[in-house]
Structure 1
Amino acid sequence: MFKVFRKEMMWGGRKLILETGKVARQADGAVIATYGDTVVLCTAVAAKAPKPGVDFFPLTVNYQEKAFAAGKIPGGFFKREGRPTEKEVLTSRLIDRPIRPLFADGYRNETQVVCTVLSHDLENDPDIVSMIGTSAALTISGVPFLGPIGAARVGYKNGQYILNPTLEQLDDTDLELVVAGTQEGVLMVESEAKELSEEVMLGAVMFGHKEFQPVIDLIIDLAEMCAKEPMDVPPPAYDRAAVKARLKDVVGADVKAAYAITVKQERYAAVGAAKSKALEALVAEGFAPEAVATEFKELESDILRGSVIETGKRIDGRTTVDIRPIVAEVGVLPRSHGSSLFTRGETQALVVATLGTAQDEQIVDALEGEYRENFMLHYNFPPYSVGEAGRMGSPGRREIGHGKLAWRAIHPLLPAKEQFPYTLRVVSEITESNGSSSMATVCGTSLSLMDAGVPLPRPVAGIAMGLIKEGDKFAVLSDILGDEDHLGDMDFKVAGTEKGVTALQMDIKITSITEEIMKIALEQAAKGRIHILGEMAKGLSGAREAVNQNAPRITVINIPKDKIRDVIGSGGKVIREIVEQTGAKIDIEDDGTVKVAAVDGKAAEAAIKWIKGIVAEPEVGEIYEGKVVKVMDFGAFVNFLGSRDGLVHISELKNERVAKVTDVVKQGDSVKVKVLGFDDRGKVKLSMKVVDQATGEDLSKKKDEAAEG
């Protein structure tokens, strides 16, 4: 019934298996990729004909994790998988980025890739498996895909690169880098690093590229067994050369003049006017509007790219290495814990940092298990930032991806939780955008955290690099504009400190780039990063000595484990009372660590005193303040030290005969008592008569002193 095709190999110490022909046979391409015990079903389906009127390639990638893959039942009320998690969104982007440039030019059929995690061994992340499975599914599908691609994860420890480190190994490495590409070169890089040098980062990329070559060979072997005949891509329904020539005649000079305008909005207006003029003229001559629009983009690209290659000058007059003017400001919002306004040319980020307690940590329910995240970075890109009126909604893939890149850049510099027990949330509002708002977010985040008093050892800056490549000639551009990103060949973002790189992300729009180009880009980025750090230092050069006055102060104390129950109380009664009475926030961990947070120092002090009173052991001879909780004929029971009760015998109430206990104390009275000792059952024996109830002085000591005198 099934005609199964299977290829396997040992790779990085584990078996990699690619299998097709048994599952999802109605898809154009379907491959089950297995690495270790992690299994992902990758499918590719393409529409039979292009969408009418579409002048772009409609590709969708959906990566989805099923809870059953890790033997779990989803949380929540509905008990089924819902909207994509952040991990699913980021992995979808990770798969999309290296495959998108490899579809045949002019291919416009709607194409969908779906990767479903069927099994997760909690050792091998499904993202690399999904990228390899997607590459195989597309290669055998008959879709005009110019792959295959390979992908690998690279770690770095003690001067050695590690191929596909396990999740456990990643906790103890200085680098997590994902690289994807073809046999010829690299297409995509995503990474987080602990201030590593450019040489180490480049070495990691090339190591990964070399190590995934056998995977590409494996996919080719599978395709030779079962690949479908490639789909024909029909040529354009018009004479491209004729349209291009007429466009150059009609608006070539206008477009060239428009790209000499340095102000973005004015430039866009001039380009828009040229496009309208071209449409009006060429449609009247009988050319299709879609053909004119498509070739107009090509004309824009040719003019921008040709100018850079020929003259070394860019749209705004800069050379290839110049950075736009930078203004870095901090403390721009009066009530926030930390804030900054970072402006670089026409890109601007308003970044705000908020310090919270352990109660504010994000609980993440992942396949690998539930964990808590104490650093969150949320990036927002409202339409007004580019001068447009648009739909406002929940964060899209772009916002989540840019936010995670900035998160990776900052994360290696954050203090350990034990040293700085705060939950951190940073929000970056992009208020203007013309190139690399994610790197502006990195700079603004660094400044806002330092403004809040978060002890970053060094500030972090980021820069976006671009590439214009025509034949053997190329130019690497520092601090790219939006147009240079859109019409260029590379988006290469590098973030780090003066000591080294903390994050690197690269996307290529051509089939691949060489090691030489990457090396030049990294060296150029390092110089640009140092310049930006210098400009940031004019606003704030290091973390403030103390947390902002509006932020909660967190005090950490330790109590015996066997006292945790006493502090919490039955059903949380005691800790709720402490919080309500003092206004402080209290977090108690299983090891007895107690964190008390309050903006008001007196509130924190009162809560700490209360807790210490609960856990303290009564000492013979010490005087305590307590409350009468029960009156009996033979004496009064007094609660002290929060949870301790002791008996004041009727004979210890006053220095005279007492007929009735209620003649001296009543239930609810506050009294001062001295610990006399413990009876044979461990019960505390107390005395009131030896304590001055007004001053709390020990009267027995006064008598002893008088006797000695």
Structure 2
Amino acid sequence: MTPIVKSFQFGQHTFTLETGVIARQADAAVLASLGDTAVLVTVVGKKEAKPGQDFFPLTVNYQEKMYAAGRIPGGFFKREGRPSEGETLTSRLIDRPIRPLFPEGFTNEVQVVATVVSVQPEIQPDIVALIGTSAALAISGIPFSGPIGAARVGYINNQYVLNPSEEELKTSKLDLVVAGTQNAVLMVESEAGILSEDVMLGAVMYGHQQMQTAINAIVEFAGEAAKPAWNWVAPAKNDALIAKIADLATADLGDAYRITEKAKRYERIGEIKAALIEKLSAELAEGEALNLTEVGEIFHNLESKVVRGRITKGEPRIDGRDPEMIRGLSVMTGVLPRTHGSALFTRGETQALVTATLGTARDAQSVDDLLS
């Protein structure tokens, strides 16, 4: 396969997308690089969904390899260990903007692996991984309503800065990552000093504007490198069964969601579902079997519709509160006798038992980080 390369200016450095050289057995593989920071993104999808599967099994793994920075992993074994906290958070950072862009009803397994293979200390690899993932999905043929772009925005001397370096971030009042499509923002994550709402909103808009360069480049890249689109058709909805379940269960669910006590409400909903299944099963012809997975999904969607209907009509919330009333809060401290600190925080029916232990410098966690 002839390598296909697309380059564009993105902030202070040149961004390059390349495919056709590495990992050619994958559905798509893109080597994305910004300066000397490079991330290899591979995408693999199953052509057939597992029978009866009612969810979308998307897996995103972002992994940093110490060789990317010319280092050997610390520790006795000198091997890469389990994913670090930073790798897990970056995996989620990639997952959040791409997951909503797969079509409804698509339950084929898809795996995205983004591996940092080279790192320039002043260029963080997360934005490179995000854009590389978008490009890989765009050329894979897998149903995907992309591409997306991403950008890191800093705020230095009252000016927005695109993809600030590690050194610039030390003086920046803002470290914001934004991802989105050509027309919409899908994900925002940031840490910042005290900034006005206008500055924060302006940063999001600035990032969305700047990422259009990456989106346009991916569109052109896909025009040259994309594989044929999968012949996938969304499963047809069983309108007759949806109407039947709505007719049988809507009124009872409405009454159930007026029960303020959670355990009793769940018990009543379970009874309604069991009675519904029994009635539907009784109406089947001899030899026919009820698709319990399909019934469960329709029933769950009906629950959501009933609850939303109560909200739009201005009815009290499930636990009896009006729209302006918060749940009851309570805090108990010193609940455990031998801990350094402890507290029990209760909000409505949700509780957190929290403990604190004081340590010295020798108790601090040693982090073997790629950029440290």
Q: Is the 8 A contact 1:336 1:354 kept in 2?
A: yes
2 CA distance for matches of 1:25 and 1:168?
37
Distance in 1 between the 2:271 and 2:197 partners? 44
Change (3 A) 1:284 1:209: farther
SS at the partner of 1:215?
A: helix
Secondary structure in 2 matching 1:327: strand
CA offsets per residue over residues 609-638 of structure 1, 9 Å max, x none? xxxxxxxxxxxxxxxxxxxxxxxxxxxxxx
Secondary structure at the counterpart of residue 326 of structure 2 = coil
The one of 301, 325, 330 aligned to 1:327: 330
- What is the deviation of 1:319? 4.2
SS at match of 1:340: strand
Evaluate the alpha carbon distance shift between residue 318 and residue 7 of structure 1 in structure 2; reply closer, same or farther with a 3 A threshold: farther
Q: Secondary structure at the match of 2:266?
A: helix
Q: Would the aligned equivalents of 2:106 and 2:234 in 1 still touch at CA under 8 Å?
A: no
> Higher Cα Rg: structure 1 or 2?
1
Q: Is residue 15–residue 35 contact of structure 1 (8 Å, CA) maintained in 2?
A: yes
How many residue pairs get matched? 367
Structure 1 residues 20 and 300 mapped into 2: Cα distance closer, same or farther (>3 Å)? same
Partner residue of 1:289 out of 264, 289, 292: 292
Does residue 350 of structure 1 match 2:353?
Answer: yes
Matches within 5 A, 1:206-605: 206-236=205-235, 239-286=237-284, 287-311=290-314, 313-369=316-372
Report the CA distance between 1:181 and its aligned residue. 1.4
Q: Contact 2:104–2:234 at 8 Å: present in 1 too? A: no
**The 10-residue stretch of structure 1 (157-166 or 60-69) with the greater mean CA deviation from structure 2:** 157-166
Give the RMSD, CA atoms, in angstroms: 1.9
Which letter does structure 1 place at the counterpart of 2:145? L
- Measured against aligned partners, the alpha-carbon deviations of 1:98-134 in whole angstroms (never above 9, x if no partner) come to 1111101110101100111100111111111111111
Q: Secondary structure at the match of 1:204?
A: helix
Q: CA deviation at 1:230?
A: 2.1
Moved more, 195-204 or 341-350: 195-204
Which fold has the larger relative contact order, with Cα–Cα distance below 8 Å and residues 6 or more apart in sequence?
2
Tell whether the 8 Å contact from 1:104 to 1:233 is kept in structure 2 after alignment.
no
Structure 1 258/228 Cα, relative in aligned 2: closer, same or farther at 3 Å?
farther
Q: Which runs of 5+ in 1 are unaligned?
A: 370-709
Tell me the residue number matched to 1:628. none
Alignment of 1:573-652 (within 5 A): none
Deviation, 1:360, is 1.4
User: 2:333 and 2:201 mapped to 1: Cα distance?
Assistant: 34
Q: Secondary structure at the match of 2:75?
A: coil
Deviation for aligned residue 1:312 = 6.2
Identity %: 57
Can you list the C-alpha shifts for 1:224-272, whole angstroms capped at 9, x where unaligned? 11212222333436x5211110111121112222222333333322222
Identify the residue that residue 28 of structure 2 maps to in structure 1.
29
Deviation sequence 1:364-416 (CA, Å, 0-9, x none)? 001113xxxxxxxxxxxxxxxxxxxxxxxxxxxxxxxxxxxxxxxxxxxxxxx
Query: Residue 281 and residue 195 in structure 1: after superposition, are their counterparts in 2 closer, same or farther (change >3 A)?
Result: farther
Paired residues of 2:178 and 2:187 also in contact (CA < 8 A): yes
Q: Which residue of 1 aligns with 2:172?
A: 173
- Letter in structure 2 aligned against 1:267: R
Distance 1:304 1:136, change over 3 A: same
Measured in 2, the distance between the counterparts of 1:145 and 1:269 equals 39
Q: C-alpha separation between the residues in 2 aligned to 1:199 and 1:349?
A: 35
CA distance in 1, matches of 2:157, 2:265: 51
Q: Is the 8 A contact 2:57 2:110 kept in 1?
A: yes
Who is 1:419 aligned against? none
Structure 1 residues 199 and 339, CA, compared in 2 at 3 Å: closer, same or farther?
farther
SS in 1 for 2:273: helix
Deviation track 1:417-462 (CA, whole Å, cap 9, x = no partner) reads xxxxxxxxxxxxxxxxxxxxxxxxxxxxxxxxxxxxxxxxxxxxxx
* TM-score w.r.t. length of structure 2: 0.92
Distance change (3 Å), C-alpha of 1:202 and 1:260:
farther
CA 1:157–1:85 in structure 2 vs 1: closer, same or farther (change >3 Å)?
A: same
* Residue identity in the other structure for 1:324: R
Rounded to whole Å, the distance in 1 between the matches of 2:109 and 2:65 is 25
1:15-39 Cα distance to aligned partner (Å, 9 max, x none): 1111111111111111111011110
Closer/same/farther in 2, CA of residues 300 and 222 from structure 1, 3 Å limit: same
1:313 deviation in Å?
4.3
**Cα separation, 2, equivalents of 1:320 and 1:181:** 32
Q: Residue in 2 aligned with 1:601? A: none
Q: Distance in 1 between matches of 2:41 and 2:116?
A: 9
Long gaps (5+) in structure 2: 285-289
- Counting only pairs closer than 5 Å after superposition, residues 679-698 of structure 1 correspond to structure 2 as none
Q: How big is each residue's C-alpha offset from its partner over 1:573-607, in whole Å with a ceiling of 9 and x where there is no partner?
A: xxxxxxxxxxxxxxxxxxxxxxxxxxxxxxxxxxx
